[in-house]
Amino acid sequence: MWERLLETLRCPRCAQPLGLCETTRDKGEVLEGTLHCPSCGAKNPIVNGIPRFVPTENYASSFGFEWERFAEVQTDRLHGNRLSHERFYRELGCLPDDLRGLRVLEAGCGGGRFSEIALDAGAEVFAVDLSSAVDKSRAIRMGHPRLHLIQASILDMPLARESFDLVFCFGVLQHTPDPAETFRSLVPFVKPRGRLAVDIYAAHPKQSLHWKYLVRPVTKRLPRERLLDVIERAAPVLVPVSRRLRRIPRLGKALSRLVPIFVHDGFMGRVSPEEEVRWAILETFDALTPAYDRPRSRHTLLRWFRDAGFTSIETGCMQNALNYGRAQRPE
């Protein structure tokens, strides 16, 4: 933790500034210590350079397990592609130069693939996640001077309100107990004239019949290591099967959806066969393990922004599977 983070940290109980004590440091970074609130007396530890405001085990624990093993898969820099970069800027609706010098809050950072893109653009990034995925993000970007990692709940973020030029939350809302409440919890942290961008799985009438919803009541209760082992054994066989089915005229895409593996059309020719299998393992594990999976319609997303008083609202849908929205907070 960089000590200047104290300027933005606030006590999640009483919203007062926090103090720092009992520290162990290395090259100016606080590695271990305690954050204390002079007002209410609350204390929270700093462990492995990250302030912690939630218990280690929580409903997002499966994501901590997931990103410990797969964070590198989605990190563009490590594979020489721009898959995460393209999704990030498509959903934001801006260019890298637009982020330079901004204070950016990522709510639900996971393994940090989008954090890195914002850092590369020159932003100062405050990245919050409920799970232990923050540790993996730190390991990949060790000592980055503009990255502030925090383990905390999006519903109770220990940060000063109206502090950020941009708040974004990608790949998270559908995996929370109440997506609407989670969306509302983001709003106070956006500066006047700042921007908020989110996405959420797209809701369709037939979505409840997708094979992942039929098996997930069982798979989310299985030991994670066992489920991952099954997927890792099946993926090298099922990914080529899915690809061959997709070549069948007219019916191919529909038939491929019956194969219990997630394969992206947009990856063909852009990643190696080995990387495509690794992506498929990640996406399938991600679909079968979350405690919550709550899609919402594009109309619902638009209503959330309107109810929160935002202007210049734009919404869209990616590959008929992911709704996204972005808007500006008025003065």
Does residue 241 sit in the same domain as residue 311? no
d(CA 294, CA 276): 26
**Per-residue model confidence as pLDDT tens digits over 156-185:** 999 999 999 999 999 999 999 999 999 999
Q: Which residues are bridge partners to 324 per DSSP? A: 199, 316
97 with 221, same domain: the answer is no
Cα distance between residue 151 and residue 98, in whole Å: 27
| CA 101, chain centre distance (Å) | 22
User: What is the four-CA torsion angle of 267, 62, 154, 111, rounded to 10 degrees?
Assistant: -50
For 112, list phi and psi in degrees, rounded to 5: 90, 20
CA distance 95 to 35: 36
Q: Is 311 found in the same domain as 281?
A: no
Residue 131: the pLDDT is 92
CB 103 within 8 A of CB 91: no
Q: Are residues 189 and 63 in the same domain?
A: yes
Nearest partner of 44 among 141, 183, 153, judged by Cα:
153
Q: Which domain holds residue 106?
A: 53-202+295-328
pLDDT for 206 equals: 66
The total number of structural domains in the chain stands at: 3
217 lies in the same domain as 123? no
Q: What is the DSSP letter of 54?
A: S
- In tens, the pLDDT along 250-307 reads 898 888 888 999 988 777 668 888 999 999 999 999 999 999 999 999 999 999 999 9
Lowest model confidence (mean pLDDT) among 105-119, 136-150, 246-260, 266-280: 266-280
Instruction: Identify the CA nearest to 118 among candidates 139, 138, 92, 142.
Output: 92
> How confident is the model over 18-41, as a mean pLDDT?
93
Q: What percent of the chain has pLDDT over 70?
A: 98
Residue entry with tokens 């693939």: 113
- Chain-centroid distance, C-alpha 139: 17
Cβ of 7: how many Cβ atoms within 10 Å?
Answer: 9
Angle among Cα 104, 317, 63 to the nearest 5 degrees reads: 55
CA–centroid distance for 20 within its chain = 28
Which has the closest alpha carbon to 92: 125, 124, 117, 67? 117
Same domain, 189 and 256: no
- Band of pLDDT at residue 205, cut at 50, 70 and 90: confident
Q: Residues 137, 269: one domain?
A: no
Give tens-digit pLDDT for 48-106.
Answer: 999 999 987 777 788 888 989 988 998 989 888 899 999 999 999 999 999 999 999 99
- Asked if residue 308 and residue 234 are part of one domain, the reply reads no
Find the mean pLDDT for residues 197-219: 87
Q: Is residue 178 located within the same domain as residue 303?
A: yes
Clarify whether residues 104 and 168 are in a common domain.
yes
Domain boundary among 50, 70, 85: 50
User: Residue 134 belongs to what H/E stretch?
Assistant: helix 133-140
Residue 128 maps to which CATH number? 3.40.50.150
| Residue written as token pair 């800027």 | 89
The 147-151 sheet, strands edge to edge: 147-151, 124-129, 103-107, 164-169, 190-201, 322-328, 311-318
- Give per-residue burial for 79-110: e unless 16+ CB within 10 Å, then b: bebebbbebbbebbebebebbeebbbbbbbbb
Output phi, psi for 223, to 5 deg.
-55, 135
Q: What is the pTM of this model?
A: 0.93
Residues 153 and 192 in one domain: yes
DSSP 94: S
Question: Which residues fall within 8 angstroms of residue 16, CB to CB, at 6 or more apart?
Answer: 10, 37, 38, 39, 40
Whether residues 130 and 222 share a domain: the answer is: no
